[in-house]
């Protein structure tokens, strides 16, 4: 029940911000959620014995989110800066993994947010589809997996996930995206919607598994406790951090 109540509060807010909110509201939400998610990512890294980047990593994330184009220039500069920052380590064996992990977290979280901003510029409804394929897919996977799930998908990483649930997730995500696009993006060809939705859903499932692998390696169940029924913010957005860049990339390749 707590999980459902949290979703009932968050989903309308996200829908409004994506479809109708001013640009500053989307940037503010992304900055806040991104900083919390990066803090949780940093804590997972720390639990694995990797030096946490702390404020330096969070500042780097904001630079990626707000830097003017071409953003890849900012990323290259940040890579250099993060390596220099890691020179402070008393144990220099932690310098390279610390810098690499910080840069990974910045690109993983805030790079995906940059893709979300670009996707919204193409059409806010495409950004909603990038989110919807994971939301609908998660729900479908839950019910299909509980009902008929028998074959384990990735038992070392997430023992409860099954191939049946995964397939149900793809079907659920594609159906939801197809219905959404039919009414709200009518010019979009059906084949494009189905391809983008399927790829986005599969990417989202991989994002969920990757974060689960990080948490399992760190010996933690959730990335945090700030979202009742969901764990941490990184737990909530892990699928979208993969689905959004894939949807954006496919739209750029197939339509622009």
Q: What is the pLDDT of residues 149-173, one digit of tens each?
A: 889 999 999 988 999 999 999 999 9
User: For residue 1, is pLDDT > 60?
Assistant: no
| pLDDT reported for residue 255 | 84
| pLDDT reported for residue 253 | 93
* Number of domains comprising the chain: 1
- CA angle, 30 as apex, 117 and 62 as ends, to 5°? 90
Which residues are CB-contacts of 14 (< 8 A; sequence separation ≥ 6)? 29, 131
Average pLDDT over residues 201-212: 95
| pLDDT reported for residue 87 | 86
User: For residue 229, is pLDDT > 70?
Assistant: no
Contact call for residues 56 and 99 (beta carbons, < 8 A): no
Q: How confident is the model at residue 91 (pLDDT cuts 50, 70, 90)?
A: confident
Could you tell me which of 141, 121, 124, 120 has the C-alpha nearest to residue 201? Answer: 141
Q: How confident is the model at residue 94 (pLDDT cuts 50, 70, 90)?
A: confident
| pLDDT reported for residue 2 | 62
User: For residue 145, is pLDDT > 70?
Assistant: yes
- Residues spanned by the domain of 102: 2-255
Average pLDDT over residues 176-189: 96
40 or 88: which leads in pLDDT: 40
| pLDDT reported for residue 256 | 58
End-to-end CA, the chain: 43
Instruction: Give the span between the Cα atoms of 42 and 48, in whole angstroms.
Output: 10
Instruction: Give the chain as a 3 state SS string.
Output: CHHHHHHHHHHHHHHHHHHCCCHHHHHHHHHHHHHHHHHHHHHHHHHCCCCCCCHHHHHHHHHHHHCCCCHHHHHHHHHHHHHHHHHHCCCHHHHHHHHHHHHHHHHHHHHHHHHHHHHHHHCHHHHHHHHHHHHHHHHHHHHHHHHHCCCEEECCCEEEEEHHHHHHHHHHHHHHHHHHHHHHCCCCCHHHHHHHHHHHHHHHHHHHHHHHHHHHHHCCCCCCCCECCCECHHHHHCCHHHHHHHHHHHHHHHHC
Instruction: Give the span between the Cα atoms of 174 and 247, in whole angstroms.
Output: 13
Mean pLDDT (the chain, rounded): 92
């Amino acid at each position: 029940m707590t999980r459902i109540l949290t979703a009932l509060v968050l989903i309308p807010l996200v829908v409004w911000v994506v479809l109708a909110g001013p640009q500053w509201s989307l940037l503010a939400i992304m900055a806040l959620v991104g900083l919390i998610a990066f803090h949780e990512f940093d804590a997972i890294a720390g639990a694995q014995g990797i030096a946490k980047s702390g404020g330096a990593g969070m500042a780097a994330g904001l630079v990626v989110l707000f830097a003017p184009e071409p953003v890849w220039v900012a990323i290259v500069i940040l890579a250099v800066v993060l390596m220099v920052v890691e020179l402070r380590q008393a144990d220099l064996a932690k310098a390279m993994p610390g810098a690499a992990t910080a840069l990974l977290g910045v690109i993983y979280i805030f790079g995906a947010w940059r893709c979300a901003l670009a996707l919204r510029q193409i059409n806010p409804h495409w950004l909603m589809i990038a989110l919807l394929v994971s939301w609908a897919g998660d729900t479908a996977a839950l019910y299909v997996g509980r009902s008929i799930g028998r074959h384990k998908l990735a038992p070392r990483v997430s023992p409860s996930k099954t191939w049946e649930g995964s397939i149900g997730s793809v079907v659920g995500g594609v159906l939801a995206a197809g219905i959404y696009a039919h009414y709200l993006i009518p010019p979009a060809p059906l084949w494009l919607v189905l391809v983008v939705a399927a790829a986005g859903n599969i990417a989202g499932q991989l994002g969920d598994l990757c974060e689960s692998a990080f948490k399992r390696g760190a010996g933690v169940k959730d990335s945090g406790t700030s979202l009742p029924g969901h764990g941490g913010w990184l737990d909530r957005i892990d699928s979208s951090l993969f689905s959004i860049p894939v949807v954006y990339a496919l739209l750029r390749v197939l339509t622009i």
